Amino acid sequence: MMSKITPRNDNVMMGLFAVAVLTMPIWLMPIGASYPDLMQKFAIFGIFAIGFNILFGLTGYLSFGHAAFLGVGSYTAVWSFKLLSMNVLPAVVFAVLVAGAFSFLIGFISLRRSGIYFSILTLAFAQMSYNLAYSVLTPITNGETGLQLAKSDPRVVDALFVEAGAGIPSTNFFGIAMSGYGGFYFCAILLIVGFYLSLRITRSPFGMMLKAIKSNQNRMSYTGLNTRPYALTAFVISGMYAGLAGSLLAVTDPLAGAERMQWTASGEVVLMTILGGVGTLIGPVLGAGIIKYFENIFSAFNESILTSIFSFLPDGLQDVVVSVVGLFVGEGWHLTLGLLFMIIVIYLPGGLVEGAQRIRTYATKKREKKSAASHQPQIAE
C-alpha cells in the first residue's frame, strides 16, 4: 500500500533518506562496503541514476548516450583544477553548466524523434563524443592517456593565494581534502541535494507535465501544451545531473578518460534505473548502489581465489566448477549483470521497488487473514 503524498510524508522520507546516506559508513560495515572509495561511488552513480530517471522515468525517453555528459563533466572538472583552482566548487559548478549546454545541443536534435529513433540518436552522439575524445579533441582530452593534472598547470586562482608546493596539490573544498571520508561526505551531501531536487520536480506541475509526455503526447498538444520544450528541459536537467556525477568522479580522483563516455557506461545507468525501479524516487539510487556493490565484489574474484573456495571438491570437479564460475566473476562480471538484468526485466519489470511493494502487500494480506481467523471464534460466540 502506498502512503498518501503530502508535504509531510515527503519530509519524513527526505529525512530518512538523508540519515541513511550519511550513516552509510556504519550500516554498510557488516557487508564490508563501508570504505570511502566504494561509498562515494554509490553516491556518485546514485546522482547519475537519479538524473537519468528524471528523463527516462518521467518522460519515457530512453537515452542510450548519457555517459557522454558524465564524461563532459569529468573533463570540465579536471580543466577547472588545471586552469583555475584545486577547489572543487568551481569544478562542480562549471561541469554542471557545460554538461547542461552540451545536453541542450544533443537533446535539441535527438528529441526531433521519439522511441527507438531517439535512443539510437543519443547513442550515436555519445559514440561520436567518445571517438572525438580519442582523436581530434586530443588537445582537450589528452586522448588515450586521459586528462591528468600536472605540476606545471597554471591554477590561476590558487596562485593568487598560496605558494606552489613541491608536488601536485590535492583537490579540496575550501581546505577540506577530498580524499577519504571528506570526498565521501561531499558526494553524499550532493546526493541528498540531488534527491531532494528530483523529489520536488516529481511533485511539481512541471513533473506532472513530464509524466503527461510519457502518457500521451497527442493529448498534451491538443490540450495546449508544447511538448518539445518540456522534454528538452527534462533532457537538460538529467544531463546536468550526469555532469555533476562526472565532476564528482574527478573530484575524488582527478583524472578523466574517454572510456567514461563509452556505450557500456551509458547502458549501465539504464540498468541501474530499471533494476531499482523506473519512475520511482528511491529506485535509481538503490539500483546504482547494488550494481556498484556487486561489481566491486564480483570483479574482485580471480581464479586463485575461486580455486581455494572450491578446494573441498575433488580435483576434476573443482576444475570444472572453477572454470564455469570463473565466467561470471572478474572480467566476466558483466555476464552476471546481464543475467540479473534479464531476471529483473522478465519477473519484476517494476524493479526492486515493485518487489518490495509486492512483499509488503503479501505480508499485510497474510496478517489480515491471520487476525481475521483469530477473530472468528469471538464472532461465533
Partner 1 sequence: MGILQVQDVNKSFGGLKALHNVNLDVEEGAVHAIIGPNGAGKSTLLNCFVGRLKPDTGSVMFDGTSLLGIAPHEINQAGVARVFQTPEIFGDLSLIENVMIPTLAKRDGAYTVNAWGRVDQAAEIRDKAEHILEDVGLAEKREMHANSLSRGDKRRLELAMCLVQEPKLLLLDEPTAGMSRADTNNTIDLLKRIGERGITKIVIEHDMHVVFSLASKISVLAQGTVIAEGAPEDIKGDPRVQEAYLGGAHL
Provide the mask over 125-154, with x wherever binding to partner 1 is found by CB under 8 A and - wherever it is not: ------------------------------
Give the nearer residue to partner 1 in terms of CB position, either 130 or 230: 230
Burial of residue 175 (number of CB atoms within 10 Å: 0-12, 13-18, 19+): exposed
- What would the grid cell of residue 297 be? 565484489
Q: Which residues sit opposite 255 in a β-bridge?
A: 148
Tell which positions 212-271 bind partner 1, by CB under 8 A: 212, 214-216, 218-227, 229-230, 233
Span near partner 1 by CB under 8 A; candidates 31-39, 204-212, 256-264, 269-277: 204-212
Question: Is 203 near partner 1 (CB under 8 A)?
Answer: yes
Q: How far is CA 206 from the centre of its chain?
A: 22
Helical spans, DSSP H, in 253-350: 263-276, 283-298, 303-309, 315-326, 333-347
Does the footprint of partner 1 cover residue 364 (CB under 8 A)? Answer: no
Give the nearest distance from C-beta 57 to partner 1 in angstroms. 12
Residues 6+ positions from 113 with CB-CB distance below 8 Å = 121
Is 11 a binding residue for partner 1 by CB under 8 A? The answer is: no
Q: Which is closer to partner 1, CB of 5 or CB of 140?
A: 5
Query: Residue 56 pairs with which residues in a beta bridge?
Result: none
Which set of grid coordinates corresponds to residue 247? 565532476
- Least distance from C-beta 239 to partner 1, angstroms? 15
- Regarding 112 and contact with partner 1 (CB under 8 A), the answer is no
Judge whether 250 and 256 are in contact, CB under 8 Å.
yes
Angstrom distance (rounded) from CA 381 to CA 375: 10
Instruction: Note whether 332 binds partner 1 by CB under 8 A.
Output: no
Q: From 106-114, 175-183, 209-217, 329-337, give the range in contact with partner 1 by CB under 8 A.
A: 209-217
Q: Which residues bind partner 1 (CB under 8 A)?
A: 5-7, 200-201, 203-209, 211-212, 214-216, 218-227, 229-230, 233
